[in-house]
Amino acid sequence: MSELNKIVLKIISNGKGILAADESNGTMTKRLEAVNVKSTAENRLSFREILFSSDGMRDCIGGVILFDETINQISSSGKSIPDLISSSGVVPGIKVDTGAKDLANSPKEKITEGLDGLRDRLKKYYDLGARFTKWRGVYSIGEKYPSDLAISSNAHALARYSALAQESGMVPIVEPEVLMDGTHSAEICLSKTSEVIKRCFEELILHKVDLSGIILKPNMILAGNQSKDKISNEEVSVKTLECLKNSVPNEVPGIAFLSGGQSEIEATENLNLINKNNNTNFIMTYSYGRALQQNALKVWSNDIENVVATQTTFNHRAKMCTLAAQGKWSSELENK
Ligand code: 13P
Protein backbone atom coordinates (compact mmCIF):
# COMPACT_ATOMS: atom_id res chain seq x y z
CA MET A 1 0.00 0.00 0.00
CA SER A 2 1.45 3.39 -0.96
CA GLU A 3 1.82 6.21 1.56
CA LEU A 4 -0.76 8.23 -0.39
CA ASN A 5 -3.26 5.38 -0.27
CA LYS A 6 -2.71 5.09 3.50
CA ILE A 7 -3.52 8.79 3.92
CA VAL A 8 -6.70 8.37 1.83
CA LEU A 9 -7.88 5.47 3.97
CA LYS A 10 -7.08 7.32 7.20
CA ILE A 11 -9.31 10.18 6.05
CA ILE A 12 -12.35 8.29 4.74
CA SER A 13 -12.52 4.79 6.31
CA ASN A 14 -15.11 3.58 8.85
CA GLY A 15 -17.73 6.21 8.07
CA LYS A 16 -15.36 9.13 8.62
CA GLY A 17 -15.77 12.14 6.38
CA ILE A 18 -14.21 15.49 5.62
CA LEU A 19 -15.05 18.89 7.08
CA ALA A 20 -14.65 21.44 4.28
CA ALA A 21 -13.74 24.52 6.33
CA ASP A 22 -11.77 26.10 3.49
CA GLU A 23 -14.07 28.98 2.66
CA SER A 24 -12.00 31.85 1.30
CA ASN A 25 -12.14 35.08 3.31
CA GLY A 26 -14.64 36.43 0.76
CA THR A 27 -16.99 33.45 1.13
CA MET A 28 -16.56 33.32 4.92
CA THR A 29 -17.41 37.01 5.11
CA LYS A 30 -20.70 36.31 3.29
CA ARG A 31 -21.46 33.41 5.65
CA LEU A 32 -20.69 35.47 8.79
CA GLU A 33 -22.50 38.60 7.63
CA ALA A 34 -25.58 36.48 6.87
CA VAL A 35 -25.76 35.73 10.61
CA ASN A 36 -24.74 39.28 11.67
CA VAL A 37 -21.23 38.46 12.87
CA LYS A 38 -18.35 40.73 11.84
CA SER A 39 -15.86 38.93 9.59
CA THR A 40 -12.54 39.50 11.37
CA ALA A 41 -9.59 37.10 11.36
CA GLU A 42 -10.27 36.55 15.07
CA ASN A 43 -13.95 35.63 14.55
CA ARG A 44 -13.18 33.38 11.59
CA LEU A 45 -10.67 31.50 13.75
CA SER A 46 -12.92 31.46 16.79
CA PHE A 47 -15.80 29.65 15.01
CA ARG A 48 -13.48 27.19 13.32
CA GLU A 49 -11.51 26.44 16.47
CA ILE A 50 -14.74 25.55 18.29
CA LEU A 51 -15.47 22.93 15.61
CA PHE A 52 -11.86 21.67 15.49
CA SER A 53 -11.84 21.01 19.25
CA SER A 54 -15.26 19.26 19.38
CA ASP A 55 -16.03 15.60 20.09
CA GLY A 56 -17.63 15.31 16.64
CA MET A 57 -14.28 16.15 15.16
CA ARG A 58 -12.52 13.30 16.97
CA ASP A 59 -15.32 10.75 16.49
CA CYS A 60 -16.53 11.43 12.95
CA ILE A 61 -14.11 13.55 10.93
CA GLY A 62 -11.08 12.07 9.14
CA GLY A 63 -9.79 15.22 7.44
CA VAL A 64 -10.31 18.98 7.53
CA ILE A 65 -9.72 21.23 4.55
CA LEU A 66 -8.28 24.58 5.61
CA PHE A 67 -7.87 27.94 3.90
CA ASP A 68 -4.45 29.61 3.75
CA GLU A 69 -5.33 32.06 6.55
CA THR A 70 -6.39 29.27 8.93
CA ILE A 71 -3.44 26.94 8.39
CA ASN A 72 -1.17 29.79 9.49
CA GLN A 73 -3.19 30.68 12.63
CA ILE A 74 -2.44 29.75 16.24
CA SER A 75 -5.22 28.34 18.43
CA SER A 76 -6.11 29.73 21.87
CA SER A 77 -4.20 26.82 23.47
CA GLY A 78 -1.02 27.98 21.75
CA LYS A 79 -0.95 25.03 19.31
CA SER A 80 -0.85 25.72 15.59
CA ILE A 81 -4.16 24.89 13.86
CA PRO A 82 -2.69 21.86 12.00
CA ASP A 83 -1.33 20.57 15.36
CA LEU A 84 -4.71 21.08 17.04
CA ILE A 85 -6.38 19.07 14.25
CA SER A 86 -3.76 16.28 14.26
CA SER A 87 -4.07 15.96 18.05
CA SER A 88 -7.65 14.66 17.48
CA GLY A 89 -6.32 12.04 15.05
CA VAL A 90 -7.59 14.05 12.07
CA VAL A 91 -5.57 14.80 8.93
CA PRO A 92 -5.08 18.51 8.09
CA GLY A 93 -5.61 19.47 4.44
CA ILE A 94 -5.39 22.68 2.44
CA LYS A 95 -7.20 24.29 -0.47
CA VAL A 96 -4.51 25.24 -2.99
CA ASP A 97 -6.41 26.67 -5.94
CA THR A 98 -6.64 30.45 -6.06
CA GLY A 99 -10.22 30.58 -7.30
CA ALA A 100 -12.34 30.34 -10.44
CA LYS A 101 -11.87 33.19 -12.95
CA ASP A 102 -13.65 34.01 -16.24
CA LEU A 103 -12.54 31.63 -18.99
CA ALA A 104 -11.16 33.53 -21.99
CA ASN A 105 -13.30 32.98 -25.12
CA SER A 106 -16.15 31.62 -23.00
CA PRO A 107 -16.65 34.39 -20.44
CA LYS A 108 -19.79 32.92 -18.88
CA GLU A 109 -17.72 29.94 -17.77
CA LYS A 110 -14.90 29.60 -15.27
CA ILE A 111 -11.37 28.25 -15.19
CA THR A 112 -9.74 27.59 -11.84
CA GLU A 113 -6.34 29.21 -11.37
CA GLY A 114 -3.40 28.57 -9.07
CA LEU A 115 -0.85 26.45 -10.95
CA ASP A 116 1.89 29.14 -11.06
CA GLY A 117 4.25 28.67 -8.13
CA LEU A 118 2.18 25.73 -6.87
CA ARG A 119 5.17 23.41 -6.28
CA ASP A 120 6.68 25.91 -3.81
CA ARG A 121 3.36 26.55 -2.05
CA LEU A 122 2.80 22.81 -1.66
CA LYS A 123 6.18 22.42 0.02
CA LYS A 124 5.30 25.19 2.47
CA TYR A 125 1.94 23.56 3.30
CA TYR A 126 3.54 20.15 3.75
CA ASP A 127 5.98 21.71 6.23
CA LEU A 128 3.02 23.24 8.11
CA GLY A 129 1.52 19.72 8.49
CA ALA A 130 -0.91 19.36 5.56
CA ARG A 131 -1.15 15.86 4.09
CA PHE A 132 -3.91 16.40 1.57
CA THR A 133 -5.02 19.20 -0.74
CA LYS A 134 -8.06 20.41 -2.62
CA TRP A 135 -8.67 22.02 -6.01
CA ARG A 136 -12.18 22.81 -7.25
CA GLY A 137 -13.15 23.11 -10.90
CA VAL A 138 -16.61 24.58 -11.40
CA TYR A 139 -19.02 24.03 -14.30
CA SER A 140 -22.49 25.45 -14.98
CA ILE A 141 -25.21 23.71 -16.90
CA GLY A 142 -26.90 25.74 -19.63
CA GLU A 143 -27.98 25.31 -23.22
CA LYS A 144 -24.37 25.47 -24.44
CA TYR A 145 -22.66 24.67 -21.16
CA PRO A 146 -20.44 23.23 -19.95
CA SER A 147 -18.54 23.80 -23.19
CA ASP A 148 -15.84 21.49 -24.43
CA LEU A 149 -13.38 24.30 -23.69
CA ALA A 150 -14.40 24.50 -20.00
CA ILE A 151 -14.45 20.72 -19.63
CA SER A 152 -11.01 20.21 -21.13
CA SER A 153 -9.22 23.22 -19.58
CA ASN A 154 -10.47 22.45 -16.06
CA ALA A 155 -9.62 18.75 -16.43
CA HIS A 156 -6.11 19.74 -17.52
CA ALA A 157 -5.67 22.04 -14.49
CA LEU A 158 -7.02 19.39 -12.08
CA ALA A 159 -4.57 16.84 -13.48
CA ARG A 160 -1.53 19.15 -13.30
CA TYR A 161 -2.46 20.09 -9.74
CA SER A 162 -2.95 16.43 -8.75
CA ALA A 163 0.44 15.39 -10.14
CA LEU A 164 2.17 18.19 -8.20
CA ALA A 165 0.28 17.40 -4.97
CA GLN A 166 1.32 13.74 -5.15
CA GLU A 167 4.91 14.73 -5.95
CA SER A 168 4.86 16.70 -2.66
CA GLY A 169 3.62 13.67 -0.69
CA MET A 170 0.04 14.89 -0.37
CA VAL A 171 -3.27 13.37 -1.49
CA PRO A 172 -5.16 15.52 -4.01
CA ILE A 173 -8.91 15.92 -3.64
CA VAL A 174 -10.10 16.21 -7.23
CA GLU A 175 -13.26 18.31 -7.18
CA PRO A 176 -15.11 18.86 -10.45
CA GLU A 177 -18.32 20.56 -9.26
CA VAL A 178 -21.22 20.72 -11.70
CA LEU A 179 -23.42 23.39 -10.12
CA MET A 180 -27.06 22.73 -9.27
CA ASP A 181 -28.14 26.24 -10.40
CA GLY A 182 -30.65 26.19 -13.26
CA THR A 183 -33.79 24.66 -14.68
CA HIS A 184 -32.15 21.48 -16.07
CA SER A 185 -33.41 17.97 -15.38
CA ALA A 186 -31.57 15.33 -13.37
CA GLU A 187 -30.99 13.43 -16.66
CA ILE A 188 -29.03 16.41 -18.00
CA CYS A 189 -27.08 16.64 -14.74
CA LEU A 190 -26.27 12.93 -15.10
CA SER A 191 -25.00 13.23 -18.67
CA LYS A 192 -23.00 16.46 -18.08
CA THR A 193 -21.49 15.28 -14.79
CA SER A 194 -20.51 11.95 -16.38
CA GLU A 195 -18.79 13.76 -19.26
CA VAL A 196 -16.94 16.10 -16.89
CA ILE A 197 -15.72 13.27 -14.64
CA LYS A 198 -14.64 11.07 -17.55
CA ARG A 199 -12.56 13.92 -19.01
CA CYS A 200 -10.94 14.51 -15.63
CA PHE A 201 -9.83 10.89 -15.45
CA GLU A 202 -8.48 10.95 -19.03
CA GLU A 203 -6.25 13.87 -18.01
CA LEU A 204 -5.29 12.36 -14.64
CA ILE A 205 -4.15 9.20 -16.44
CA LEU A 206 -2.25 11.23 -19.06
CA HIS A 207 -0.46 13.06 -16.25
CA LYS A 208 0.43 9.70 -14.60
CA VAL A 209 -1.46 10.47 -11.40
CA ASP A 210 -1.62 7.49 -9.01
CA LEU A 211 -5.38 6.92 -8.87
CA SER A 212 -5.10 4.89 -5.64
CA GLY A 213 -3.86 8.08 -3.97
CA ILE A 214 -6.65 10.52 -4.77
CA ILE A 215 -10.14 11.28 -3.43
CA LEU A 216 -12.80 12.30 -5.95
CA LYS A 217 -15.16 15.02 -4.70
CA PRO A 218 -18.13 15.21 -7.06
CA ASN A 219 -21.64 16.63 -6.88
CA MET A 220 -24.59 14.29 -6.47
CA ILE A 221 -26.94 13.93 -9.45
CA LEU A 222 -29.80 16.34 -8.80
CA ALA A 223 -32.33 18.23 -10.88
CA GLY A 224 -31.47 21.95 -11.17
CA ASN A 225 -32.61 24.08 -8.23
CA GLN A 226 -35.15 25.85 -10.49
CA SER A 227 -36.31 22.70 -12.27
CA LYS A 228 -39.98 21.74 -12.13
CA ASP A 229 -39.08 18.07 -12.36
CA LYS A 230 -37.53 17.27 -8.98
CA ILE A 231 -36.62 13.63 -8.40
CA SER A 232 -36.90 11.58 -5.21
CA ASN A 233 -33.95 10.96 -2.88
CA GLU A 234 -34.00 7.33 -3.96
CA GLU A 235 -33.63 8.40 -7.61
CA VAL A 236 -30.81 10.77 -6.65
CA SER A 237 -28.92 7.85 -5.14
CA VAL A 238 -29.55 5.56 -8.13
CA LYS A 239 -28.50 8.17 -10.70
CA THR A 240 -25.45 9.21 -8.65
CA LEU A 241 -24.30 5.59 -8.43
CA GLU A 242 -24.90 5.07 -12.16
CA CYS A 243 -22.79 8.13 -12.95
CA LEU A 244 -19.87 7.11 -10.75
CA LYS A 245 -19.93 3.45 -11.75
CA ASN A 246 -19.61 4.43 -15.41
CA SER A 247 -17.09 7.26 -15.07
CA VAL A 248 -14.66 6.49 -12.25
CA PRO A 249 -11.83 3.94 -12.64
CA ASN A 250 -11.81 1.09 -10.10
CA GLU A 251 -8.42 2.03 -8.65
CA VAL A 252 -9.93 5.11 -7.00
CA PRO A 253 -10.43 4.20 -3.32
CA GLY A 254 -13.02 6.72 -2.34
CA ILE A 255 -15.50 9.39 -3.19
CA ALA A 256 -16.42 12.25 -0.84
CA PHE A 257 -19.41 14.28 -1.99
CA LEU A 258 -19.79 18.04 -1.73
CA SER A 259 -23.15 19.28 -0.46
CA GLY A 260 -23.44 22.06 -3.05
CA GLY A 261 -26.34 23.98 -1.51
CA GLN A 262 -28.45 21.02 -0.35
CA SER A 263 -29.91 21.38 3.14
CA GLU A 264 -28.23 19.48 5.96
CA ILE A 265 -30.98 16.84 6.06
CA GLU A 266 -31.17 16.44 2.27
CA ALA A 267 -27.38 15.96 2.00
CA THR A 268 -27.51 13.43 4.85
CA GLU A 269 -30.45 11.48 3.47
CA ASN A 270 -29.01 11.31 -0.04
CA LEU A 271 -25.65 10.09 1.24
CA ASN A 272 -27.40 7.45 3.34
CA LEU A 273 -29.29 6.10 0.32
CA ILE A 274 -26.15 6.14 -1.81
CA ASN A 275 -24.50 3.92 0.80
CA LYS A 276 -27.53 1.66 1.18
CA ASN A 277 -27.62 1.13 -2.59
CA ASN A 278 -23.85 1.17 -3.12
CA ASN A 279 -23.07 -1.53 -5.68
CA THR A 280 -19.50 -0.32 -6.28
CA ASN A 281 -16.20 -0.87 -4.47
CA PHE A 282 -15.79 2.83 -3.75
CA ILE A 283 -16.01 4.16 -0.20
CA MET A 284 -18.75 6.81 -0.35
CA THR A 285 -18.56 9.57 2.23
CA TYR A 286 -18.99 13.30 2.71
CA SER A 287 -16.80 16.36 2.30
CA TYR A 288 -19.36 18.93 3.33
CA GLY A 289 -19.00 22.62 3.97
CA ARG A 290 -22.46 24.12 4.37
CA ALA A 291 -24.22 20.82 5.21
CA LEU A 292 -21.96 20.37 8.26
CA GLN A 293 -21.63 23.93 9.48
CA GLN A 294 -24.87 25.78 8.70
CA ASN A 295 -26.77 25.12 11.93
CA ALA A 296 -23.67 25.30 14.10
CA LEU A 297 -22.93 28.73 12.63
CA LYS A 298 -26.47 29.92 13.39
CA VAL A 299 -26.26 28.71 17.01
CA TRP A 300 -22.81 30.28 17.45
CA SER A 301 -23.99 33.60 16.01
CA ASN A 302 -26.67 33.82 18.75
CA ASP A 303 -23.91 33.89 21.37
CA ILE A 304 -20.33 33.60 20.19
CA GLU A 305 -19.21 32.72 23.73
CA ASN A 306 -21.47 29.63 23.81
CA VAL A 307 -18.97 26.94 22.87
CA VAL A 308 -21.03 24.06 24.28
CA ALA A 309 -24.20 24.80 22.27
CA THR A 310 -22.18 25.29 19.07
CA GLN A 311 -20.27 22.04 19.58
CA THR A 312 -23.44 20.11 20.48
CA THR A 313 -25.03 21.22 17.21
CA PHE A 314 -21.93 20.34 15.19
CA ASN A 315 -21.46 16.99 16.98
CA HIS A 316 -25.00 15.97 16.08
CA ARG A 317 -24.59 16.88 12.41
CA ALA A 318 -21.23 15.12 12.13
CA LYS A 319 -22.69 12.00 13.78
CA MET A 320 -25.66 11.95 11.38
CA CYS A 321 -23.35 12.31 8.36
CA THR A 322 -21.07 9.54 9.63
CA LEU A 323 -24.07 7.24 10.08
CA ALA A 324 -25.17 8.13 6.53
CA ALA A 325 -21.68 7.29 5.26
CA GLN A 326 -22.38 3.75 6.51
CA GLY A 327 -26.02 3.58 5.36
CA LYS A 328 -27.13 3.58 9.01
CA TRP A 329 -28.95 6.93 9.24
CA SER A 330 -32.71 7.29 9.66
CA SER A 331 -34.85 10.41 10.07
CA GLU A 332 -35.94 9.34 13.59
CA LEU A 333 -32.34 9.73 14.76
CA GLU A 334 -32.46 13.44 13.93
CA ASN A 335 -34.68 14.24 16.91
CA LYS A 336 -32.98 12.10 19.52
P1 13P B 1 -20.33 22.57 0.21
O2 13P B 1 -20.49 21.24 0.87
O3 13P B 1 -20.88 23.71 1.00
O4 13P B 1 -20.75 22.53 -1.23
O5 13P B 1 -18.77 22.87 0.22
C6 13P B 1 -17.91 21.87 -0.17
C7 13P B 1 -16.73 22.45 -0.83
O8 13P B 1 -15.63 22.25 -0.38
C9 13P B 1 -16.92 23.25 -2.05
O10 13P B 1 -15.70 23.45 -2.69
Kindly report, residue by residue over 98-152, the tens digit of the pLDDT: 999 999 999 899 999 999 999 999 999 999 999 999 999 999 999 999 999 999 9
pLDDT, tens digit (0-9, with 9 covering 90-100), for 298-307: 999 999 999 9
List, by residue number, the catalytic residues. 175, 217
Q: Cβ–Cβ contacts within 10 Å for residue 336, how many?
A: 5
Count other Cβ atoms within 10 Å, centred on residue 235.
Answer: 15
Q: Specify the pLDDT at position 336.
A: 77
Atom of ligand 1 nearest to the CA of 259: 2
Could you tell me which of 190, 99, 98 has the C-alpha nearest to residue 141? 190
Give the amino acid at 299. V
Q: Which residues of the chain have pLDDT under 70?
A: none
pLDDT at 107: 87
Ligand 1: centre distance to CA 175 (Å): 9
CA-CA-CA-CA dihedral for 246, 325, 330, 240, to nearest 10:
-20
Global pTM value = 0.98
Ligand 1: nearest atom to the Cα of 292: 2
Cα-to-centroid distance, 88 and ligand 1 (Å) = 22
Which three-class secondary structure state does DSSP give residue 168? Answer: coil
DSSP per-residue codes, 75-106: -TTS-BHHHHHHTTT-EEEEE----EEEETTE
Quote the DSSP letter at residue 147: -
The reply to whether ligand 1 has any atom less than 6 angstroms from the CB of 259 is yes
What spacing in Å lies between the alpha carbon of 219 and ligand 1's midpoint? 9
Distance, CA of 21 to CA of 64 (rounded, Å): 7
- Using a 6 Å cutoff on CB, does residue 288 contact ligand 1? yes
CA 65 to ligand 1: nearest atom:
8
Residue 141 confidence (pLDDT) = 98
- Tell me the C-alpha distance between 180 and 10, whole Å: 30
Name the helix (H) or strand (E) containing 29: helix 25-34
Supply the pLDDT for residue 109: 98
Q: Which residue among 19, 287, 321 has the greatest number of ligand 1 atoms within 8 angstroms of its CB, and so is best to mutate?
A: 287
Site to substitute for ligand 1 among 70, 290, 293, 321, most atoms within 8 A of C-beta: 290
